[in-house]
Amino acid sequence: MSDQRVMIVDDEPPARDRLARLVDGLAGTSVCASIAEAETVVDACRSHQPDVVLLDVEMPGIDGIDLARRLRRLSPPPAVVFVTAFEQYAVDAFELAAVDYLVKPVRAERLARALERARNRPLGPGVTLRSRLGERVLAIPVSEIRALIAEDKYTVVHFDQGEALVDDSLVTLEQRFGRHFIRVHRKALVARRYLRGLYRDADGQERVELDGCNCRPPVSRRNLTLVRQALDDKPETELPE
């Protein structure tokens, strides 16, 4: 799985530097951008495609609350974690569906919990992949996708209503939605939330089972440990919505 990409937004250089050190000290995370000017954040998100934005609330110009509203309109929208010295904004933060709200000075273990929460955040129904069949365009909610399988020049999308083709490569899709999918094979990504089990077929090939899908993608040897870990990490009570 690729690193969780974190963007830091704070107008104070010492605060940005401290958060960057904390993020870099956590396994599986990396800073993709560190930004001081709130006005540039939306364009920077389009360029850097962060998974998470660590967002200061009180900044010159656009404040963090208004900026979070703008970030929600991106596709896909990054997870937002507010980082501020002021607790009075917590209600506004959670009304905006912020993943977490951290009070400065941020402790490493508290940041780690917030980033893990962001990693497990489900995608909203508004985030879609577009499949074109002749003149017909189908918008497939990413939250309903079970598997993405590379075939020739296309990627086959297995979702709850069947199958469709998209032009996007697996590499591109993994970069955009890596926190929601796990690579099980060089030609296959599967949705973490629908991952149900692992078995060996009659030919000795390891395969994954997915909730709500007859597709059984193969698992390569190099990805077998990662799949087992993902299954071990799933809560026993988790069910697809």
Closest CA to 100 of 111, 108, 85: 111
pLDDT at 122: 67
Q: 150 or 124: whose pLDDT is higher?
A: 150
Average pLDDT for residues 141-148, to the nearest whole number? Answer: 91
Give the rounded percent of residues in the chain with a pLDDT score beyond 70. 87
Domains of the chain (ranges; CATH) run: 4-119 (3.40.50.2300), 128-233 (2.40.50.1020)
Long-range contacts, 168-175 (Cβ 8 Å, 24+): 168/129, 173/129, 173/148, 174/2, 175/2, 175/49
Provide the percentage of residues in the chain whose pLDDT is more than 90: 48
Residue 188 has what pLDDT? 96
Instruction: Answer whether 155's CB lies under 8 Å from 166's CB.
Output: yes
* CB of 142 closer than 8 Å to CB of 128: yes
**Mean pLDDT computed over 105-123:** 86
The encoded tokens of residue 150 equal: 């590379």
Counting Cβ atoms within 10 Å, is residue 51 exposed (0-12), middle (13-18) or buried (19+)?
buried
Mean pLDDT of all residues in 41-45: 94
At residue 98, the pLDDT reads 77
73-106 pLDDT, tens digit per residue, is 886 788 999 998 776 655 555 556 678 888 889 9
- Residue 137: exposure state from Cβ atoms within 10 A (0-12, 13-18, ≥19): exposed
pTM of the model as a whole? 0.59
Over residues 195-217, the mean pLDDT reads 94
What is the arithmetic mean of pLDDT over 53-68? 88
